[in-house]
Structure 1
Amino acid sequence: MAPGVPSEKKKKKIEEQSSEERAIRVPNPHLEKIKEDILYHFALGTATHDFPALFGDVKFVCVGGSPSRMKAFISFIAEELGIGSPGNDHPNICAGTDRYAMYKAGPVLSVSHGMGIPSIAIMLHELIKLLYHSKCSNVIIVRIGTSGGIGLEPGSVVVTKQSVDATFKPQFEQVILGKSVFRSTHLDEKLAEELMECGKELDQFNTVVGNTMCTLDFYEGQARLDGAFCSYSEEEKLQYLKSAYEAGVRNIEMESSVFAAMCNLSGLRGAVVCVTLLNRLEGDQITTPHEVLKEYQTRPQKLVGHLIKKHLGKQ
């Protein structure tokens, strides 16, 4: 078994934990020696902010690439939950930095993570510590975003079963002290099933479950023909994408692998919900009108909002 990948016995034990036992895990003994933990990229710190008072009631965290999209989500979910007055503005908790944006409405936290594995990994390190310092438990975290679909109509929403790398393996490679550590990228199966059920209940758009391929860049890593550089033919591109489809891949994005790995390490119940903006078997460039794309981007929000309302008994 690859280093860092939990055994089947350990995974089963984690899955069997009752909700009361789902505390945030931060397996770093060095943190106990730090008098003040400064979450630099959030402009927050344990000596300057009362984390339990600010965030102790958080039960749901939604993360996505764009600050504006995450602000739109918090406004949407606040209205769905009846928190505050319609049109009520939600201040950016991380206004002291321009790296990430964070918004809160009741038990829901909405955080931007930028684009790509390095950006979301930095954010998740600090977010997980924030939840830990806040003494949160039973937290569900969902990445909502956009992606390129494979064999799906644009506008389809993919609930990720597991994230795979560019060779279709369900693993995330983290280089630590010059050595490769491979971590599992399986996501919470029960949560994925709940989201699929929510899709059926909404019955507003096509919702599917499948593997998500996480790449290191937007162009060559995703077999696009329209980057500044390209060393392969269109036939080779299509053969690769068809192989991905045969391996269960239904969409491509750039953050799911490290997201899944860090959920597993911290004990967070995690899910990835992304809308497809195009079918990569039919092209590379996004030509859909802006207004249509704008509506597509609300679909993961609607699905996750429905899940949150069900969990809170707001249905």
Structure 2
Amino acid sequence: MAPILAENSKPNLPDGDNYVNNGFVNIKNPHLDLLSEDILYHFDLGTKTHDLPLMFGDVKFVCVGGSANRMRDFAVFIHKELGLEGDGNSITDICAGTDRYSMYKVGPVLSISHGMGVPSISIMLHELIKLLHHAKCRDVTIIRIGTSGGIGIEPGTVVITDTAVDAFFRPQFDQVILDKVVVRNTELHRELAENLLQCSTEIPDFPSIIGHTMCTYDFYEGQGRLDGALCSFSKEEKLEYLRKAYAAGVRNIEMESTVFAAMCHLCGLKAAVVCVTLLNRLEGDQISQSHNVLKEFQTRPQQLIAKFIKKQLGLCT
């Protein structure tokens, strides 16, 4: 069995606490200093081929989500919300040279797709964090927006995550490194979550709550679904598990939050996860809402984040 190590939850800062106060993005890899060029392969960007400080140095907010189309829609939406010139439809994909991820910059806001699941978002985050570091960005807030399955709450509810937990309801992410399992903290920024919840009180059109989010490694068996190609448990066993999750404080399930929380925490990024629920898993497994209803649900996290960003920029009271 591979040894299990608990990783220090405090970022290893080269200049002590002063580095955090300066607001720069911290990276924890001494080998990067030995590179003559850092190629961000999955973004089709690099430190020699692109002027990253010029392109991204003013970024203050990064919003990430699974779907490339959804993140483009968010970029167009935030363009309008910020009152920028033009209609936003002319924005271009900065990562057009690759088909892995899509990236759009709208003023101080970066909108990026991360695909589905822990491996995909992990790759994206490694390159995003390096990008923010190379661009000398300061005081960056990063928010994952997306969809999820709810537990014991009304479909369409927006869940603001206070803690990301694994399938055993533990607030940790297990990263396999060489022949060891490194346990990482999945704490998210509490004040940011509370600020987002406060913003939600000004949007009466849908409910928003704070709760734990459970991250799983797949959509079917890992989430206790009865409708996958494989299933080795009963409906009663599924419901018992989901009720245990609810009792542990879990209010929704998705597939990216633990690694997102762990990496952002280690690198000193103020981070949040905001996901809308598409169904109540205690009542079923299949998403049966109409296309129009689901499309409206998916705009809810975007509306909340837009209000938050506008408040931070002093564009609304």
TM-score by length of 1: 0.95
Look up the match of 2:177: 176
Counterpart secondary structure, 1:298: helix
Counterpart secondary structure, 1:48: coil
Look up the match of 1:151: 152
User: Matches of 1:31 and 1:18 in 2, distance apart?
Assistant: 18
User: Matches of 2:172 and 2:245 in 1, distance apart?
Assistant: 15
Alignment of 1:1-315 (within 5 A): 3-6=6-9, 20-315=21-316
Q: Which amino acid aligns with 1:77?
A: I
Q: CA deviation at 1:45?
A: 0.6
Contact 1:141/1:269 (<8 A) preserved: yes
Q: Which amino acid aligns with 2:70?
A: R
Q: Measured at CA, do residues 211 and 17 of structure 1 come closer, stay the same or move farther in structure 2, by a change above 3 Å?
A: farther
Per-residue deviation, residues 82-140 of structure 1 (Å, max 9, x unmatched): 11212432100000000000000100000000000000000000000000000001000
Q: Which amino acid aligns with 2:185?
A: S
Counterpart secondary structure, 1:144: strand
Contact 2:79/2:88 (<8 A) preserved: no
Q: CA deviation at 1:21?
A: 2.2
> Aligned pairs, how many?
309
Contact 1:3/1:181 (<8 A) preserved: yes
User: Matches of 1:195 and 1:51 in 2, distance apart?
Assistant: 30
User: Matches of 2:312 and 2:243 in 1, distance apart?
Assistant: 38
User: Matches of 1:22 and 1:229 in 2, distance apart?
Assistant: 47
Q: CA deviation at 1:17?
A: 7.7
Q: CA deviation at 1:18?
A: 9.7
Contact 2:5/2:180 (<8 A) preserved: no
Contact 2:156/2:207 (<8 A) preserved: yes
Contact 1:5/1:182 (<8 A) preserved: no
Contact 2:165/2:214 (<8 A) preserved: yes
Q: Which amino acid aligns with 1:3?
A: A
Per-residue deviation, residues 12-54 of structure 1 (Å, max 9, x unmatched): xxxx989852210011100000001000000001110000000
Per-residue deviation, residues 181-236 of structure 1 (Å, max 9, x unmatched): 00000100000000000100122210000000000000000000000000000000
- Give the root-mean-square deviation of aligned CA atoms: 1.6
Q: Measured at CA, do residues 138 and 299 of structure 1 come closer, stay the same or move farther in structure 2, by a change above 3 Å?
A: same
User: Matches of 1:212 and 1:149 in 2, distance apart?
Assistant: 9
User: Matches of 2:301 and 2:315 in 1, distance apart?
Assistant: 18
Q: Measured at CA, do residues 110 and 260 of structure 1 come closer, stay the same or move farther in structure 2, by a change above 3 Å?
A: same
Q: Which amino acid aligns with 1:289?
A: S
User: Matches of 1:121 and 1:312 in 2, distance apart?
Assistant: 29
Contact 1:19/1:138 (<8 A) preserved: no
User: Matches of 2:164 and 2:145 in 1, distance apart?
Assistant: 14
Per-residue deviation, residues 147-185 of structure 1 (Å, max 9, x unmatched): 000001100000001100000000000011110000000
Structure 1 runs (4+) greater than 3 angstroms displaced:
16-20
Contact 2:9/2:266 (<8 A) preserved: no
Q: Which amino acid aligns with 1:217?
A: D
Q: Which amino acid aligns with 1:264?
A: H
User: Matches of 2:162 and 2:30 in 1, distance apart?
Assistant: 32
Per-residue deviation, residues 246-276 of structure 1 (Å, max 9, x unmatched): 0000000000000000101111100000000
Counterpart secondary structure, 1:236: helix
- Unaligned 5+ segments in structure 1 are none
User: Matches of 1:17 and 1:79 in 2, distance apart?
Assistant: 37
